[in-house]
Amino acid sequence: MVIDMSTAAHDPGPDALPGVGTGLGADTGLAAGPERRPATDAERRALASVVRLRILRMCLYEPLTNRQIADRLEMNPATTLHHVRTLVDQGFLVAGDPRRGRRGSREIPYRATGKSWTLEMGNPPEAAGVGARTMLQTFLAEVAEVPASAVDTSRLGLQLSAEHEAELRSRLADLLDEFARRSHDPGGRRWSIFFAIHPEP
């Protein structure tokens, strides 16, 4: 299955799938069952970046310093610091206690907060389209670094009444939300899920 919680590319109703998700569990600060709210323009802009979405995913399982983030993304630390600060300013990353880095330098580790999982990204509709494209580009960038043999995909076509479409969306959202709120399994393997649902062209 291809799945990395994405922005819904339609006008979300009460049964819509969750907004941009980082897959955070309760141990990363995500409270059980918070009410979702529409994202602000500043929050949308912060998440409208492949680099920033990748940083959130990397800081999901362990706190990372800006230098560690830059090394993993093979980018200049000054460039990644701009992205890190944007995420911190909007509450998507939180800074930890400073620690000693290379040659005794002072470095700050950052960890994802889980905030993105509680946001609805679908309004206005044009924002949903931008978010969906960014999420897809992020997925493609990440999956390109994984051996093809490790990527399990499926594709399905359905013809559904409005009632059954709403049921499908609701059940998928509930399942993904249930797993997102669980604590990480100690020693468990890390998985990424990208899920997309769209009308046939």
* Residue-range domain boundaries for the chain: 26-180
Q: Is the pLDDT of residue 23 over 60?
A: no
The CATH number of the structural domain formed by 26-180 is 1.10.10.10
Tokens coding 21: 């998700």
- Asked if the peptide bond before residue 124 counts as cis, ω within 30 degrees of 0, the response is yes
Grade residue 118 by pLDDT with cuts at 50, 70 and 90. confident
Mean pLDDT of the chain: 83
Q: Is the pLDDT of residue 48 over 80?
A: yes
33 vs 10, more confident: 33
Grade residue 123 by pLDDT with cuts at 50, 70 and 90. low
State the pTM of this model. Answer: 0.78
C-alpha span between 116 and 118 (Å, rounded): 5
Q: Which among 55-69, 89-103, 117-131 has the top mean pLDDT?
A: 55-69
Checking 178-181 for CB contacts under 8 A at 24+ apart, the result is: 179/23, 180/5, 180/18, 180/21, 180/23, 180/24, 180/25, 180/30, 180/117, 181/25, 181/26, 181/30, 181/32, 181/33
Q: Is the pLDDT of residue 42 over 50?
A: yes
